[in-house]
Amino acid sequence: MSVHPTGARTIAFTCAALVGFAGNSLLCRLALGQRAVDAATFTSVRLCAGALTLTLLADRGRAPSPTGRGGSWTAAIALFAYAAAFSFAYLRLSAGTGALILFGAVQATMIGWALRAGDRPRPLVWVGFGVALCGLVTLTLPGLSSPDPEGAGLMVLAGIAWGAYSLLGRSAANALAVTAQNFRRSLPLAAAASLVTLGHAHASLRGVALAAVSGSVASGVGYSFWYAALRGLSRTRAAIAQLAVPPLAAAGGVVLLGETVTPRLWAAGALILAGVGAAVWGPPARNPGTS
């Protein structure tokens, strides 16, 4: 069965963005888990590198000027809140666990908003959501390998902020230009955070390099792909699709960071992938304006 060109582009953009999301978890954990850089500096370098890369790409692609209209301060605040909470959370969490908590919170935020806005997903989507939610519960139940509470709380905050940023980007006509503007507007917030935590600042060349790659490639380019993909996804499916990221991040953590895969993580990842498959491959929502 052939795929409509628009649908094929949405799938391609979505897959590229999800790989970028997983890459961010790995790069952040690689830098912060080994204390190669402090969390505030990582966030600042990441956002600066993303802004620079996106500005260059937008100019080269003859997108609207970064000094012109596009993006919003609301989106920039959401982007900064996500990036800062994400960095500080990864001081306490593994790559796979952090990604699971992050995208569980993203899902709850985006689906809650979708229901409020009138989306009416079909039963199979709800089944997928329930199965994926069970995966998150499996991970966070009290026990020997349950995540650090402070780290988990920060990652939930990051997930809520990212969910808001995704919702704000669904109407972006030019994903590249809008993402560039959002990154540029987040820079004063990142600078303020670095000043507040200046007494704890430290950075190695390796840590700065990892932050720059995270900002330029995994964040800047990846988020542009995501804003482009959002135009072809309903709010509910956009939320659920992102839950494919945690297993990717967990696998990368094992291969690249030497992290341990616990039975709890295996079970949570399997449930989440099953839920994502059921929700995303099911029939569209009843509200035609959101599919």
Calculate ∠ Cα 42-68-175, nearest 5°: 60
- Give 61's DSSP letter: T
Residues 233 and 239: their CA atoms lie apart, in Å, by: 9
What is the model's pLDDT at position 85?
96
Residues 40 and 71: their CA atoms lie apart, in Å, by: 23
Neighbours of 9 (CB within 10 A): 15
Answer for the pair 184, 70: CB distance below 8 angstroms, yes or no: no
Q: Tell me the three-class secondary structure of 151-201, residue by residue.
A: HHHHHHHHHHHHHHHHHHCCCCCCHHHHHHHHHHHHHHHHHHHHHHCHHHC
What is the model's pLDDT at position 223?
85
Residues with Cβ within 8 Å of residue 93, at least 6 apart in sequence: 29, 101, 147, 148, 151, 152, 155
Burial, 33: exposed, middle or buried (Cβ in 10 Å; 0-12, 13-18, 19+)?
middle
Neighbours of 215 (CB within 10 A): 28
What is the model's pLDDT at position 134?
81
Q: Which domain, by its residues, includes 43?
A: 5-290
Buried b (16+ CB within 10 A) or exposed e, 56-71: ebbeeeebbebeeebb
What is the model's pLDDT at position 289?
42
**Residue whose tokens read 């390796």:** 206
How many structural domains does the chain have?
Answer: 1
Answer for the pair 236, 272: CB distance below 8 angstroms, yes or no: no
What is the model's pLDDT at position 284?
52
Please list the ranges in the chain whose pLDDT falls under 50: 1-5, 63-68, 144, 287-291
Residue count (the chain): 291
**For 179-237, what is each residue's pLDDT tens digit?**
899 999 999 999 999 999 999 999 999 999 999 999 999 998 898 888 888 888 888 77
What is the model's pLDDT at position 40?
96
What is the model's pLDDT at position 157?
96
What is the model's pLDDT at position 1?
35
